[in-house]
Amino acid sequence: MRGLLLPFAVSLLGAGSIHASAPDDWALLGKAASVARTQPLAGSYLHQVGSAAETFRIERAQARGKVRERRVSLDGLPREVIRSGDTVVSAGPDQRALQAAKASSVKLFPALLPEDVDALQQSYTLTRLGQSRVAMRDCQWLELKPREAGQRYALRLCVDGKSHLPLKTMTLTPQGQAVESFSFIDLNLDVGKLKVDVKPLYKLTAKSSSQRAAADAPTPALELRGMPAGFSLVQAGERRLPGDEGAAPVQHFVYSDGLVMLSVFAEPGAQARTTGGHGYGALSVVSDPEGDYQLTLVGELPESSLAAIARGLRISKKP
């Protein structure tokens, strides 16, 4: 079950003093979130998960009020991720590369923050750290740290002093170890009238749209209770897993605290009643039986925290 769900679901600080969270820090974070989605740019960035690292080239422009963006892998499997407005297209020369492209499309750096950063205040504190330099640009470190110590990852980001664009992000364990990072290597913000071609180079493509996905998913017949405070249900529906089309549909719930996305899959039947977990980088997968269902949780949380959430969940049929 977990082997099917993982691809399906995912598809150093500078020296300086630490300052307590202030309203202007949240305002800076809000600017960073907005600029990260819309700033025209051209450059390259490094994505590192554990000891594995890949480099991507990114170009972004605006045309008739719509953001057009293309990112291409410079090493590893050849693939590209294209964004036009709210539509994201993943492309690759073969199925393996396409799956890698779809996984890359889950996090479109530098746009890793939610549009409404104020909603994060319920679950996270914000601290201004020291100054640093990334891609030959001065930047200010900020840290989002979970209010419940040890239950979620912290996020550090270095925000460009002039444009407010996040130049580097680091996802940190409760022990302060980096499990994932993104960092610009070179960056040009003076791109003028840059034209970005949104036609895929490869024939194999997969299109995604958050709006369409929410509309197409059938309403689930189950209810989940026991999700920790701060997490809200953003999507629910029934899914059929790739390679398991003959089985009963799996109930799928997606929760978010504004920064973390957490998927819960409820599989009917007693054929896969196992307990366990594993992870890759910041991503953890945990399975736990609950009543007549096998629950599998996939999310960017410490494995111990995800396991505790799984044990606390209760599932029931809707009346």
Q: CA of 252: how far to CAs of 65, 284, 302, in Å?
A: 34, 17, 21
pLDDT digits (tens, 9 = 90+) for 2-24: 454 444 444 433 333 444 456 69
Task: Report domain extents, the chain.
Answer: 11-207, 210-317
Long-range Cβ pairs for the range 146-151 (8 Å, 24+)? 147/123, 148/123, 148/228, 149/174, 150/174, 150/302, 150/304, 150/305, 151/228, 151/301, 151/302, 151/305
pLDDT digits (tens, 9 = 90+) for 22-70: 669 999 999 999 999 999 999 999 999 988 999 999 999 998 889 999 9
* pLDDT computed for residue 229 by the predictor: 86
Q: CA of 38: how far to CAs of 48, 70, 127, 168, 240, in Å?
A: 24, 13, 25, 17, 35
Beta strands across the sheet bearing 261-268: 232-239, 250-256, 261-268, 293-299, 283-290, 276-280
Token pair, residue 296, equals: 């599998």
* pLDDT computed for residue 247 by the predictor: 65
pLDDT digits (tens, 9 = 90+) for 86-144: 999 999 999 999 999 999 998 999 999 999 999 999 999 999 999 999 999 999 999 99
Model confidence at 220: pLDDT above 70: no
Choose the CATH number for 11-207 among 3.40.50.720, 3.90.1150.10, 3.40.190.10, 2.50.20.10. Answer: 2.50.20.10
Angle (CA) 81 153 179, round 5°: 60
CB 155 within 8 A of CB 144: yes
What class has domain 210-317? alpha beta
